[in-house]
A and B are shown apart, each in its own frame.
Chain A
């Protein structure tokens, strides 16, 4: 499994945010994207996921097999928003994404245990704090199997213990042959990760 980006360019509202960005990630490799606000980290992740059209270049996966032929089908995307409904319980939210996304991995209860939300699954998401909602959203990565994790500020709102637990989850994913692309300001605690430094107006 390889994730390859060649000469990627991205634009927002007609303005070029970045251009000529390329990387190639083998399995078990991580890429940490850093840079100041407005450097285009989120745009890069959305272009890689295929949620924004690339202004130039292309992204592809190799060796994904039948289950993961395209980048979109091989990727989890964790954006700034949690993609969970406040009116539904945590279990209902996760259960929905597990059924909808296919390739089921951990059960909802196991995933909640992994993010230390065990016993809170019956509560509506609206009753949880910001950090707990983020952890519930992270549990979404665990209920369906995807080799590529695209993470945009994944640890925003998390406390120290949760950050470490999340680093452990990412290491586990990498050990299982996964690929992580994360945009962040904070160190994520993954050893040996590649780094991509973005600058404003590159």
Chain B
């Protein structure tokens, strides 16, 4: 099973893997915001966590359409499905999700503290936002896998996946941002929304791959 993880990580960092596309998009959005909002440092630091989360959410959705499509186009997906007696298909999907997250989304989390400086956020807020991103973004990948599996046969399914998946990611966004605010704004709690965020990730780690496996099994033609 880890061989699949290693293969997908290798693919994402080789030429054409697209691991950096998400980071570059993330960077572009965050760098643009201060120019659009203006030089109001208080306003920037107040909206900072929300902007970081929204940009990270959109960047997560960017590469999702290739999650299964690349495997379908070269026939690998057939063999992954064929081996589902040895490796439960949902676990295969989970492994692909983890590899996708490590290769394409983890760099976003690593870049987030740097970009937090652009938004004039204080160190505690930056740390909290990076932590919530680390815990929350896997949930987006897991939901996204279900969307990617449904749209696997569509040649330009990228936008469709985003539209399918975006409404389902709203709870993750809400609790991620409220936990980030909770760390800096005093009366607001940090721990409660953070724990709900962690619970969402665990819940979707089961539901997402199961749904994706079901869609893949019935999507072969």
Q: Are B11 and A87 in contact (CB under 8 A)?
A: yes
* Given contact pairs A72-B82, A96-B4, A100-B4, A85 touches B221 in the complex (Cβ within 8 A): no
Q: Does B7 contact A (CB under 8 A)?
A: yes
User: Bound state CA distance, A51 and B82, in angstroms?
Assistant: 7
Among candidates A51, A73, A82, residue contacting B86 with C-beta atoms closer than 8 Å: A73
Closest to B70 in A: A85
Closest to B84 in A: A72
Q: Does A75 contact B (CB under 8 A)?
A: yes
> How near does chain B come to A122, taking the closest CB pair, in angstroms?
14
Closest to B220 in A: A51
Q: Are B7 and A79 in contact (CB under 8 A)?
A: no
Q: Are B74 and A79 in contact (CB under 8 A)?
A: no
- Interface 1/0s, chain A 59-91, versus B by CB < 8 A? 000000000011011010101111111111000
* Given contact pairs A77-B79, A96-B7, A84 touches B74 in the complex (Cβ within 8 A): yes
Q: Are B85 and A85 in contact (CB under 8 A)?
A: no
Q: Does B87 contact A (CB under 8 A)?
A: yes
Query: Which residues on the B side are within 8 Å of A80 (C-beta)?
Result: 75
User: Bound state CA distance, A99 and B85, in angstroms?
Assistant: 15
Closest to A85 in B: B11
Query: Which residues on the A side are within 8 Å of B4 (C-beta)?
Result: 96, 100
Q: Does A195 contact B (CB under 8 A)?
A: no
Q: Which of B159-201 contact A (CB under 8 A)?
A: none
Q: Are A87 and B78 in contact (CB under 8 A)?
A: no
Give the size of the chain A interface in residues (CB under 8 angstroms): 30
Q: Does B20 contact A (CB under 8 A)?
A: no
* Given contact pairs A51-B220, A96-B3, A85 touches B76 in the complex (Cβ within 8 A): yes
- Interface 1/0s, chain B 1-38, versus A by CB < 8 A? 10110110011001111000000000000000000000
* Given contact pairs A70-B85, A72-B84, A73-B86, A83 touches B74 in the complex (Cβ within 8 A): yes
User: Bound state CA distance, A93 and B184, in angstroms?
Assistant: 48
Q: Which of A30-59 contact B (CB under 8 A)?
A: 46, 49-52
User: Bound state CA distance, A86 and B220, in angstroms?
Assistant: 22
Q: Does B111 contact A (CB under 8 A)?
A: no
Q: Are A92 and B10 in contact (CB under 8 A)?
A: yes
Q: Does A102 contact B (CB under 8 A)?
A: yes
- Interface 1/0s, chain B 50-82, versus A by CB < 8 A? 000000000000000000000001111011011
Closest to B10 in A: A88
Closest to A43 in B: B221
User: Bound state CA distance, A81 and B74, in angstroms?
Assistant: 6
Closest to A87 in B: B14
Q: Are B86 and A88 in contact (CB under 8 A)?
A: no
* Given contact pairs A73-B85, A101-B86, A83 touches B79 in the complex (Cβ within 8 A): yes
User: Bound state CA distance, A52 and B219, in angstroms?
Assistant: 9
Q: Are B3 and A77 in contact (CB under 8 A)?
A: no
Q: Are B75 and A79 in contact (CB under 8 A)?
A: yes
Q: Does B42 contact A (CB under 8 A)?
A: no
- Interface 1/0s, chain B 137-157, versus A by CB < 8 A? 000000000000000000000
12 A/B residue pairs, CB under 8 Å, sorted by A: A72-B82, A73-B83, A81-B74, A82-B74, A83-B78, A84-B74, A86-B74, A87-B16, A96-B6, A97-B79, A99-B3, A101-B83
Q: A residues touching B (Cβ–Cβ < 8 Å)?
A: 12, 46, 49-52, 69-70, 72-73, 75, 77, 79-88, 92, 95-97, 99-102
